[in-house]
Structure 1
Amino acid sequence: MTIASTVGTTVRPPRWNGAAGTYPQWYEDPLSCLQTTLGSVLLEHGLRPVDVLGQSCEFVFAPDDVMCEEFYRPVQSSRGVAGDLCPYHDVESAWTTGSTADDLIALIDEHSGVIVAVDNYYLPFRPAYQDVHAAHLVVVPAWRRTPDGDVEFYVSDVQPPAFQGWLSAEHLVASWTSGNPSDTQDVFFSSREIGGRVLTTKVRQPPEEPTTEQVVRALRGNLERWDNGVAGPTDRLWAGRSGLRRFVDHLSDQSADPASLRPAYTFGWSMQAQAFLHGRFARERAFRTDDAPLAAVAASADRVVSAWSNVRLLCAHAANVPEISELIRRRGEELLHAYEQLAVDWRLALSREWTDVR
């Protein structure tokens, strides 16, 4: 795709400005728009998303957060949500806001493209257009002016049915500044104002094949966070084994109130997606190196994914489930056991001598 010279210029050479074809997109079915948009940005920088996003796997929960967005994930570090998802790489992000097309143009120019929060209700390419309010993320890497002087933004949305192309500023700004009111058709991802939010990213990591040293570092870091997580009464975040135990107790305590269980569906998506990517990373590495302990890690990560499916769907449909209290406790214990087995396989993988066979 060729873009006219009226496309916005940037302070430094853009990573992608439309002159080299379509924007790189990356999608895996269990992932939310948080992972797919960030993965697409990593791909744009020449990195394999699975190699970067797949090294980390953890449990972390912020009990006081509002969890009604597809892209929700508790923020842990000063490097933002991108740094939390990629703790072993030089990646970071920050949320900022704007309200006009000019604000968005300035952010694109400064950051060579951005990830934009939107309400699907106002996007003509989404099935929810003019029907359902729901929070979502898209990548917006460029802008231009038409011959008539109107502003258009290039939008990349890999979530099915998938879209990329030019969109009028009218549509994008309406979606980006939406109040995203409560919608009975989507009780999980509506009711929180979009508020002109934009996620800016910095990726300083050069493309490279993960080394044995990096794999060991990731497994050790994952295990340390699992063993040393906290969940005290004054802790903002519940993390690791202690955090998951308290989370399971928390769900059990709330089981009589189905509406209070809904946030677990949203929150659990980010944890489930991370476990899925960790399994993919371990499986691919095991295949390339004929590494049986890493294959066991992959299998355990997959069991975590399945356990999250049970918990999330049960919490989403709790109002229609008989004996919900008993089932919540059972599924929660299964989730805890799945993470414990993953930790066992991390320990086993770390307990032997590693070689750098590729």
Structure 2
Amino acid sequence: MRVELGPVGYWRHELSHCLHTTAGVLLDFHGLDPVQALGAGWGFDYPAGDVRREEYYFPGAAEDLFGGLAPFHDVRSRWHEPAGAREGWEQVRAALVAGTPVAVAADNFHLPFRPAHRDVHTNHLMVLYGFDDTTGDVFVADPVPPAFQGTIPLAALEAARDSGNPVHHDRDLFFTANPIANRWLEVRIGPEQPAFDPDFVDRVTAANLRGLRAEPDAADVAAGRLRGLAGLRSFLVEAVDRLPGDPAAGDEAFVVIGPVLAVTGLHAEFLRAAGRRFGEPRLAELAREVDRVAHHWSALRIAVATAGPDRAAAVPALLRRTSALLDAYDRALDGLQARLDRRRAALSGA
């Protein structure tokens, strides 16, 4: 039997990683614009200590990754955790036969098209969209550079999905020591999706502003849940304070920052697309402000990853970068709030 679902296209944003890239490919397959769906939400929600050593980690959305990525759209996902490799392949094969491409977790060490092949272990995510029983191949889409779409042997896929993902040497860094366990994502796309219009942009902006500027409530404090800018400030300052005596603090910050960076870059792209579509130059200007936040995130993430053995010496620079990042957030949020206030005033007087 041979199944090759299509069209499965290429989608990637330059600041995204395998989670957003995989989601974008699957959303596009189902007829949604990835930038509209993945770029609308912009916030911070982190259950402290809930970090996982996976490249497809997303803070606060362990049970429903795609729901966390697209909070304003009817998009849901759930993990399947098969008992073993045979059951894992049977489940994925059945989904493909039913006409649905899926996201599968895999160890890059076993994937022949990844630069890490036979060198570095890491916890990766990609799209599977077909198979050929006669040749023993499967169809894979992975736009993460160097970007690959085509067939690989089923045996390689099974090894990658069943990997223990061990720490092999000192280049196995942030996404190891967490078995792949043949996990795969089932994705559900609802029939009713919001229209991409000025009212939607206003609703998104208002919700993001509420979330980012909310003060922590008693329940969140008791549960150790960090939300909004207040939670973000607490997370970063605490991570930097811990860094000299706890190398794991740097790993945690690096992993958590990754998806927040991707969300920020995608939100800038969302605002830019809205400005073009609705002829509103102010949205393009605000997109540049959000881009500035993303650039601060990039610099901070690199600085955390390269702090080196003398981590105490890196603390002052990391705190300065954190302060600059939060200032950039305030500037972007002030601009978004001012635009929203003007829109509301104009609509109420119309």
TM-score (norm 2): 0.89
User: Percent of aligned positions with the same letter in both sequences?
Assistant: 31
Amino acid at match of 2:301: R
| Structure 1 residues 141-160: aligned runs within 5 Å | 141-146=129-134, 151-160=136-145
- Greater displacement, 60-69 / 330-339: 60-69
| Structure 1 residues 49-198: aligned runs within 5 Å | 49-76=34-61, 80-98=64-82, 99-100=85-86, 101-109=89-97, 112-146=100-134, 151-183=136-168, 184-198=170-184
Tell me which residue corresponds to 1:7. Answer: 2
| Structure 1 residues 204-243: aligned runs within 5 Å | 204-205=190-191, 210-228=196-214, 230=216, 232-243=220-231
Secondary structure at the counterpart of residue 2 of structure 2: coil
- Greater displacement, 298-307 / 280-289: 280-289
Tell me which residue corresponds to 2:251. Answer: 262
Tell me which residue corresponds to 2:339. Answer: 349
Number of aligned residues: 337
Please, which of 296, 304, 323 is the counterpart of residue 293 of structure 2? 304
Secondary structure at the counterpart of residue 323 of structure 1: helix
1:34, 1:70 within 8 Å by CA — same for their partners in 2?
yes
Please, which of 302, 311, 330 is the counterpart of residue 320 of structure 2? 330
1:111, 1:201 within 8 Å by CA — same for their partners in 2?
no
Instruction: Return the alpha-carbon distance in structure 2 between the equivalents of residues 64 and 259 of structure 1.
Output: 11
User: Unaligned regions of 5+ residues in structure 1, if any?
Assistant: 1-5, 9-16
Instruction: Return the alpha-carbon distance in structure 2 between the equivalents of residues 47 and 142 of structure 1.
Output: 21
Secondary structure at the counterpart of residue 125 of structure 1: coil
User: Unaligned regions of 5+ residues in structure 2, if any?
Assistant: none
Amino acid at match of 2:112: P
- Greater displacement, 264-273 / 224-233: 224-233
Instruction: Return the alpha-carbon distance in structure 1 between the equivalents of residues 248 and 314 of structure 2.
Output: 13
Instruction: Return the alpha-carbon distance in structure 2 between the equivalents of residues 182 and 77 of structure 1.
Output: 23
Instruction: Return the alpha-carbon distance in structure 2 between the equivalents of residues 205 and 53 of structure 1.
Output: 17
Residues 125-183 of structure 1 show CA distances to partners (whole Å, capped at 9, x for unaligned) of 1111111111111101222311xxx6432111111111122222211011011100114
Secondary structure at the counterpart of residue 318 of structure 1: coil
Residues 257-291 of structure 1 show CA distances to partners (whole Å, capped at 9, x for unaligned) of 34421221121110011010110111121133332
Amino acid at match of 2:323: E
Tell me which residue corresponds to 1:313. Answer: 302
Deviation at 1:55, TM superposition (A): 1.0
Amino acid at match of 2:100: S
TM-score (norm 1): 0.87
Amino acid at match of 1:344: D
Tell me which residue corresponds to 1:12. Answer: none
Deviation at 1:189, TM superposition (A): 1.7
